[in-house]
Amino acid sequence: MWEAQDGRCDYCRIFLETQGLTQLSIDRIDNDNREYGRHNGHLTCWECNRGKGSSPHEEMVALWEKRKLLWADQTVPAAID
């Protein structure tokens, strides 16, 4: 899983660490499926896993898509000479 995801959270793409809010955790993609196996587990940061709670995977993906659009909208301040 680690290699496949390049060491990043599957939702927010942040680099996973061993502690803090970006601490890696294994999330079940389908909450109704009790297994953490190859097809139902993926790595997320602690914050995303906690934020997701029992919401469906699709909802979480949709949320991050909205966030990315929002961020893409913001103009980067010009560098100060």
Query: Which residue, 30 or 67, is less far from Zn ion as judged by CB?
Result: 67
What is the distance between the alpha carbons of residues 54 and 31, in angstroms, rounded to a whole number? 7
Total site size for Zn ion, rule CB under 5 A: 5
Binding residues for Zn ion restricted to 16-55, rule: CB under 5 A = 45, 48
- Whether 54 and 31 have beta carbons less than 8 Å apart is answered as yes
Beta carbon of residue 61, minimum distance to Zn ion (angstroms, whole number) = 12
9 binds Zn ion (CB under 5 A): yes
Query: Which residue, 9 or 42, is less far from Zn ion as judged by CB?
Result: 9
- Residue 71 gets which letter from DSSP? H
Q: Which residue has the tokens 């999330």?
A: 27
